[in-house]
Amino acid sequence: MSEKLLEARTLTMQFGGLKAVNELDFFVNRGELMGLIGPNGAGKTTVFNMLTGVYQPTTGEVVFEGNPIRGLKPYQIARQGLTRTFQNIRLFRDLSVIENVLVAGSHLARYGLMAPVFETKNFRQLESEQYERARHLLDIFGLEGKKDWSSGTLPYGEQRKLEIVRALATGPKMICLDEPAAGMNHKETHNLMELIAKIRQEFSLTVLLIEHDMKLVMGICERIVVLDHGVKIEQGTPQVVQSSPKVIEAYLGVDEA
């Protein structure tokens, strides 16, 4: 039943003299919702960047669905079904909301460069399917009504949601969410977490969630990996993590006195 979808083996990322992530091992089972937590600067986003090909790990390997993916380009990894959102929101700001979503599915629209010029039947059909799909995804997140807005003009919370919709549009098996609730208030966060649970069901997704707010992750994650200073200090169920002295120490610091 619990089959490993993604596995990171002794991942290390070195920037100059600094080891941002040091020999990290972890895995994510298919269908799981796993949390990756740690104080600020623990190296969480660096892990995402290594998994999704933005950074080339200094050493180590990433295995996705049994295939090594280290060294592949980000778009190749995305097309294999591993996609992500960005902590610092990287929407295509001057494009409309629906265009943002359409870009993400563009590798699924298989037609030649000249097909749109002659408006072939194949082109029109694939294109209307793409629009239909994009509208459906936007609808789930309540953004369908704003599909023609310029994405940069959306309110902050909706920009975060659009990041998730866009990632979903690539047709992923696994999605890495980088602090999706950052900057949201309690109610918005709650609402977002329900949405994440919903899409996980609907698209049978595996989710890896970065969050530095521990309380949030405890509620929804099945398993948690805790990073501190680039090193894994704990992993296990929320109960295990919550009661781990190492985690408490990392989050609260140790009173030397």
Partner 1 sequence: MQDFVQHLINGTSLGSIYALIALGYTMVYGILQLINFAHSDVYMMGAFSAYYLAMFMGLQNSPGVATLASLLAAAMIGCSLLGLAIERFAYRPLRKAPKLNILITAIGVSLLLQYSAQIIFGADPKVFPKVLEDSVLIDFGAVQLKSLDVAVLIVTVIMMLALNFLIFKTKIGKAMRAVSQNMTVASMMGVNVDRVISFTFVVGSSLAGVGAVLVGMKYPKIDPLMGTFIGIKGFVAAVLGGIGSLPGAVLGGLLMGLSEEMVVAYLSSTYRDALAFGLLIIILIFRPSGLLGKKGVEKV
Partner 2 sequence: MRVPMLTFLGLMILGVIAEFTLDSFVQLMLIYVLINMILGMSLNLVNGFTGQFSLGHAGFMAVGAYVSAYLSTLFPDLTGGMGLVTFPVLALLGGLAAAFAGYLVGLPSLRLRGDYLAIVTLGFGEIIRVTLLNMPAVGGARGFYGIPGPTDWDLGGFVISKFLIGYAQAMFWVVACFFVIWRVVRSAHGRAFLSVREDEIAAEAMGVDTTKAKVRAFVLSSFFAGIAGSIFAHYANYLNPASFGFNRSIDAVIIVVLGGMGSLTGSLVAAVFVTLMPELLRPLQELVGVDVRMVVYSLCLILLMILRPKGLFGSKEVFELVRKYVRKTS
Residues 6+ apart with CB under 8 A from 9: 25, 60, 61, 62, 63
* 15 binds, options partner 2, partner 1, none, Cβ within 5 to 8 A by partner type: partner 1
CB 134 within 8 A of CB 101: yes
Q: Which is nearer to partner 2, 70 or 223 (CB)?
A: 70
159 sits near partner 2 (criterion: CB under 8 A): no
What is the distance of C-alpha 1 from the center of its chain? 23
CB 37 within 8 A of CB 212: yes
Cβ of residue 1: shortest distance to partner 2, in angstroms? Answer: 29
CB 235 within 8 A of CB 225: yes
92 sits near partner 2 (criterion: CB under 8 A): yes
Closest C-alpha to 93, from 30, 159, 140, 142: 159
Q: Mark residues 91-130: x for contact with partner 1 by CB under 8 A, - for none.
A: ----------------------------------------
62 sits near partner 1 (criterion: CB under 8 A): no
Residue of 22, 45, 170, 189 interacting with partner 1 (CB under 8 A):
45
CB 43 within 8 A of CB 227: yes
Binding-site size, partner 1 (CB under 8 A): 7
Cβ of residue 74: shortest distance to partner 2, in angstroms? Answer: 4
Total residues belonging to the chain: 257
Residues in touch with partner 2 (CB under 8 A): 52-54, 73-75, 78-79, 83-84, 86, 90-95, 99, 102-107, 109, 111, 113, 115-119, 123, 127, 130, 166-167, 169-170
